[in-house]
Amino acid sequence: MSLAENLDKDVKNALKEGDKKKLSISRYLFSELKNFLIKENLDRDLKNISDDNFINILKTQIKQKKESLEFAIKAENQIKIEEINYDIEYLSSYLPNILNEEQTEAVINTLIAENNFSANDFGKIMALIKTNYSNSIEMSLASKIIKNYFKE
């Protein structure tokens, strides 16, 4: 079953169970996926969204939620903080396992050593990571690790 089909099932289950929080965030994601289909001029059926596109949309939504969380924290709005944290947790549940910082660093160190990359090869390293690890490594973290690697 595709990720989009799982989401459709989540929306229906949340409706049946009366889970307003889950219904709200799942419908939000559902509408973002529909917007993608409209933008891409595809049939409005969620089955037309590949898992890769679904994950890219998820990552964008999570990034936006994290930015909103920063503002809620600055405003010290505890209710909003809890809502956004729930949304981030729900959205993240659809993502494949993301490597932590240590695992990401190990992958990057291996790639650099195997390919004899230098500081001038930053773009090549990022391209290799994006090609092979786009759904398991957070790109901003990878960028930070690569920059630190060549500072030393």
- Give residue-wise pLDDT tens across range 66-121: 999 999 999 999 999 999 999 999 998 888 888 888 999 999 999 999 999 888 98
Percent of the chain at pLDDT exceeding 90: 47
Q: 77 and 48 share a domain?
A: yes
Per-residue pLDDT tens for 126-144? 999 988 887 788 888 899 9
| Domain boundary, last residue among 65, 92, 119 | 92
Work out how many domains the chain is built from and give that number: 2
Query: Of the candidates 56, 73, 92, which is a domain's last residue?
Result: 92
Say if residue 48's pLDDT is above 80.
no
* Statement to judge: residues 73 and 141 lie in one domain: no
SS (H, E, C) 66-125: HHHHHHHHHCCCHHHHHHHHHHHHHHHCCCCCCCCHHHHHHHHHHHHHHHCCCHHHHHHH
Query: Can you give the CATH number for the domain in which 48 is found?
Result: 1.10.1510.10
Q: Which residues contact 45 (CB under 8 A, 6 or more apart)?
A: 37
Q: Confirm if 66 and 140 have CB atoms less than 8 A apart.
A: no
Residues 82 and 118 in one domain: no
pLDDT over 70 percentage in the chain:
99
Q: Which residues contact 31 (CB under 8 A, 6 or more apart)?
A: none
Q: Indicate whether 146 and 83 sit together in one domain.
A: no
Q: Are residues 19 and 88 in the same domain?
A: yes
Residues 68 and 12 in one domain: yes
- Domain range spanning residue 86? 3-92
CA dist list (Å): 152 to 1, 70, 145: 46, 31, 11
Same domain? 50 vs 111: no
Same domain, 69 and 41: yes
- In angstroms, rounded to a whole number, what is the distance separating the alpha carbons of residues 90 and 93? 5
Phi, psi of 16 (to 5 degrees): -60, -40
Do residues 79 and 9 both lie within one domain? yes
